[in-house]
Structures are given as C-alpha cells and as structure tokens.
Amino acid sequence: PEVHLTNVYNPYFADLEDGALLVMGRVAREDRYEALIVNAAEEHLMDILYGATDIPEGASWGVVTLYETVEADAPSLDLTSDFFRFLEQLALQMYRQTREMPTTRDTSGRVWQVVAQNGEFVRYQITCPGLSQAKDPFTTAILKAPGNLTRWLLQKAEFQLVRFLEKLHYPNQYIEKLQERWQRPFPSGWPGLAEVFGEGLEDIIAVSKSLTQSRRARAGNSFQWYLSYLLDGHHIPYDEQAGGQRVDFLLFPRTSPVVLSAKTTARERWKQLEEGAYFITLDRGITQSKLAEILSRSISIVVPEVDKKHITHYRNEASVVTFKDFFAQMSGRVA
C-alpha cells in the first residue's frame, strides 16, 4: 500500500516522537477521508486507539482491516467472535485463581496451549501454505509459517487475553486505592463521586502508570517465551540469557553455537550483537538504510514469512531469513 500526502502543514510533524501513529480512514458512506496524528507521548489516546481497533501495539505496516471477515465457506471461527468469547472465559478462569495479573509466562503459555489444543482457531487467522486443509493446523503453522503464527499469538491472541485480564484486575485496584484514602462510605451521585476521584487523583495516576508500564514490558517478555516454545518444538538445544552481553538465546545446533537476540522492534538493540549473530524481530518498520547498516555488521535478520514476501528490500536479501528457514536450518531439517 502506498499513500501520497500533499499540502500537509509540516509543523504538524515537527515535534513527533518515535512511535507516533498517522491514522487515516474513509468516513463511512461519505466520499472523504480524515487523518489523525497520535503522538507516542499521548498514552491515553494510544490506549483508546488500540482498544477500539485490532491494531497491534508496536510498528505496523500495511492496511489494517478493522472488521475482519472469513471466507463464505469457512467456519465461523474468526478472531472477533468465537475466539474473543473463548479468551474472555479463559481470562475469567485465570483471574479467579489468584486475583492478580498473571505473568507473561502464564499468559503466553496458556495462549500457546489453548491454540495448540484448538487448532481451528488459527486456521483462518494467518497466512500459511496448506493451512486451510491441514488436519493439524497448529503443527502445520509451526513448521510452515512460525513467524506469522508468533505475530498472531502475541499481537492478537495474547493481546486480547491481557486486555480482558486488565478489565478484571485494574478496576479493583482503583477502588481499593480510593477506599484507602476516602475512609468513609462512598457518596451516591456524580458530584460526590467527582469529589472522591479528586481526593484520590494521585492514587489513580499511580495505578494508571503501573498499567502502562506492565503493557510495555509484556510484549518483549512474551515474544521470548514464544520463541522458547518454538525452539522446544523444533528440538533445538539452547540456553537463555547466555553470557555477559544482552543475548537472549545461545543455540546449540549440530554446528557451532549460534547467538540469537530477540526484540519485537529493532531500534538500536542490534548494535550490541557480535558479528555472525542472528536478530529475530517482528518489526515491519526496518528501513532499507537501517537494513544495510545491520547487514554491514554481518548480522542476519529473522522475520515473519509474510514480511519477507511483501517488504521489497527484504525479498532478494539472503541475510534476511524467515522464521521457517531459520528454525529448519537450526534443527537440521530442509526448509
């Protein structure tokens, strides 16, 4: 997809930070488009945007379909219906056990488990050769499109599970903080409630910061858990957090050890790697110039299969490999 912007007032973009979003869309039933700039610092607007759409957090590339549909002859198992209800029930079950927000190990592990046991949920959600006819969709996706599967598990499935968990957990945190400070019966009516919130405003801000920090930490941690599940599934020996450098995995294939560093977005993390290492990422925003800089350090990039196919400067670059080819190579199989 390509968009050309003309007659745009440049100062609108002067103070934007990395991670800002430019959101454009056609107004329903009208022949006009509107655009909105959301700066990375405007966290409340980011939350509204992510909550109202299925846009994944982090770098996004391409056209996002807000209302996903499946083929007419496909079962009604799209992410926005059956799977959402399934995740909502799972969140309720998990939260009742501890009354605390589960760790990323718990949420990623449960998502991996339920999708493995209910392969139909993934059949029409990712791009993968032969998936629509596969008897075991989950295993097929692990072998043929593990990158596409990982992105869907992290940015769609677990993303929604965590949002359901947040709705169960954080309202109670707000109420507990307000009760601690108020120390008398809550008033009945909006003016009285406004007084309660005003008195407990600092506590509300503190809980909100905790929520925001938790969201930021989860994506990277969950990404590493999914990679460990894939390594286990491909029977590739490894150590986690190996060595003094920021190395997430040290793999032990049949040849010499391989350094694998993982980050959902590229940023500057790759600069800490030694030559010959692999950098595995879900980032769709690596420009051609940044790619050249990374490859000049003899660092290979591992990306989801759909990115290798559709991002032009990835296609013919041998040092940009797919999850599928990488795991096949490390396990000694033929991709």
Question: How would you classify residue 189: left for phi > 0, otherwise alpha for psi between -120 and 50, otherwise beta?
Answer: left
Among the residues of 33-158, which ranges form H helices?
43-52, 84-98, 104-117, 120-123, 137-144, 146-152
The DSSP line for 149-198 is HHHHIIIIIIHHHHHHHHHHHHHHHHHHHHHHHH-SPPPSSHHHHHHHHH
Coil, strand or helix: which one is 279? strand
Task: Looking at mean pLDDT, say which of 42-56, 92-106, 123-137 comes out highest.
Answer: 92-106
- pLDDT above 70: residue 76: no
301: β partners? 279, 320
Beta pairing class for 249-251 and 258-263: antiparallel
pTM (2 d.p.): 0.74
3-state secondary structure of 209: helix
- What's the confidence (pLDDT) of residue 321? 97
Residue range 193-227, pLDDT digits in tens:
898 989 899 999 999 888 888 887 888 899 999 99
pLDDT tens-digit readout, 264-290: 888 777 888 889 999 999 988 898 999
Residue with tokens 């700066």: 39
With H, G, I as helix, E, B as strand and everything else as coil, classify residue 69: coil
167 pLDDT band (50/70/90 cuts)?
very high
For residue 35, what are the β-bridge partners?
24
**Mean residue pLDDT across the chain:** 83
